[in-house]
Amino acid sequence: MTSITRRLGCLLGVLSLGTSLAHGEAISTINGEEVTILTGTKTEHSTTSIPTNLYQTYTTRITLGTTTGTESSIIASVSGNGTDVALTSASASETSSATLSYLTGTNSHSTSTSNATASSTESPKPVPTNTRPCNNYPEFCDRKYSNITEVGCHNSPFVRANSVAANQQLAVIDQLNDGVRFLQAQIQFTANDSVPHFCHTTCDLLDAGPITEWLTTVKDWVVAHPYDVVTILLGNGNYSTPDFYVPHIEKTGILRYVFTPPVIPMALDDWPTLSHMILTGQRVVMFMDYMANQTAYPWLLDQFSQMWETPFDPVDQNFPCVVQRPPDLPADQAKNRLYLMNHNLNGEANLLGNALSVPDLSRINVTNAAEGFGSLGLAANNCRSDWGRAPNVLNVDYYNMGEYPGSVFEAAAKVNNVTYNRKCCGEEASSADRIEAMLKVPLTLGLMWAAFWTLV
């Protein structure tokens, strides 16, 4: 074993405390504790694994013969920051009046005074748990889905303490509660289970469990938050046809809330406003990166014919805002699609024969900052300058870390021209716990990275 291999094995052993692996394990002791040691070799960053023959193109647009739905009877009344908010199917506005309007799409309209007495043409509806409409910003209600920038969690399900294969520290409920509205996850099939799992590159490295469990959790959150729109991007790690996944997705009940587009592919102006999606109950937008078949499953949107990405697993702190996927996309077509900005700085290692991108947590406070060189905020502004519009998704690792808790949401708010003033991150954790986590993880892993590269 070379000295580089020994150093990397030791590094990954410390990072992999608590991680269960199927192969390539060796149990050793570090500072009196048993840990899993992985052996591997340092590899250079490569993009040779990007498929080149799986990108769908359309010479003409296909009309599905569907609409975005009829207005539902959902009550869209909220109150936030002491200011009443009225949501209609067309717009949302804030008023300091003592009267709060309850709008139920096109079905009915009732009025309540400040003492909470009301007259209504409908029976009472359940009270939602969220208090501000349209993804926490009433200003978004008037905007098209394609004209909003959201924070996204790269590899949302991959949460495991001190694991080299993890990409997030807080679970999906915390992610959603804190304001994340774009969730990305990679699907793999395990050797001994008929249900697909969310796994990082291979289920031997990190298995986050069956997709049905995570999707059910997201669906339950969506049910409890009827004024929010959530987007899910499924990474088809096996390049399987969607009929392998659809029965499992259907079992979760999430299709009750899924958005079905009127045309394929969707251009920027084809997208409805957030208020329309909310009032029609189509509040979950679901993409698949490869092998989507919208003729059979129109609700499972093909990503790359409707959304392009900047370089994934980036290793350059300049974060160039160029199209990587789909390859060779003409600029005029790119300007008429959604786009995702990958902003998760990585190193790369080879583990168990698999190339694995490792989040560079030694610089996470800079990467997830709202401003400055290498920051999320600067990269978003650069993209806006390059393309004439801001990214639709700021895709990050460890969203709860940064210049300060919530700095990723501050960066998104700035390009959205709104004000971010929410608490972050992790409702269940105390302030002291969050501060300790913010300091401990980047410091520890940063020192490990520094030591490794110095020794090499």
Q: Does residue 85 or residue 368 have the better pLDDT?
A: 368
Q: How many residues in the chain?
A: 456
Q: How confident is the model at residue 183 (pLDDT cuts 50, 70, 90)?
A: very high
Least confident of 51-60, 211-220, 241-250, 308-317: 51-60
Provide the pLDDT for residue 47.
Answer: 39
Rounded CA gap, 333 and 380, in Å? 20
Question: What is the tens place of the pLDDT at every residue in 126-141?
Answer: 455 556 899 999 999 9
Residue 100 has pLDDT above 80, yes or no: no
Q: Does residue 147 or residue 7 have the better pLDDT?
A: 147
Residue 191 has pLDDT above 60, yes or no: yes
Residue 20 has pLDDT above 60, yes or no: no
Provide the pLDDT for residue 165.
Answer: 82
Counting residues of the chain whose pLDDT is more than 70, the rounded percentage is 66
- pLDDT, averaged across the chain: 77
Highest mean pLDDT among 14-28, 62-76, 156-170: 156-170
Least confident of 55-64, 294-303, 357-366, 420-429: 420-429
**What is the pTM assigned to this prediction?**
0.76
Least confident of 304-313, 357-366, 419-428, 429-438: 429-438
Highest mean pLDDT among 76-80, 160-164, 261-265: 261-265
Provide the pLDDT for residue 354.
Answer: 66
Residue 285 has pLDDT above 70, yes or no: yes
Which residues are the active-site residues? 154, 200
Provide the pLDDT for residue 52.
Answer: 59
Provide the pLDDT for residue 118.
Answer: 36
Provide the pLDDT for residue 64.
Answer: 87
Q: How confident is the model at residue 122 (pLDDT cuts 50, 70, 90)?
A: very low
Question: What is the tens place of the pLDDT at every residue in 390-444?
Answer: 999 999 999 999 999 999 999 999 999 999 999 999 964 444 444 444 444 444 4
Counting residues of the chain whose pLDDT is more than 90, the rounded percentage is 58
Provide the pLDDT for residue 147.
Answer: 98
Residue 222 has pLDDT above 80, yes or no: yes
Q: How confident is the model at residue 326 (pLDDT cuts 50, 70, 90)?
A: very high
Rounded CA gap, 260 and 143, in Å? 18
164-199 burial by CB neighbour count: b if 16+ within 10 A, else e? bbbbbbbbbebbbbbbbbbbbbbbbbbeeeeebbbb
- Token pair 């067309």 is found at 90
The residues, ordered by sequence, that sit 6+ positions from 60 with a Cβ below 8 Å of its Cβ are none
Q: How confident is the model at residue 55 (pLDDT cuts 50, 70, 90)?
A: very high
Q: How confident is the model at residue 193 (pLDDT cuts 50, 70, 90)?
A: confident
Provide the pLDDT for residue 205.
Answer: 84
Provide the pLDDT for residue 204.
Answer: 84
Provide the pLDDT for residue 429.
Answer: 42
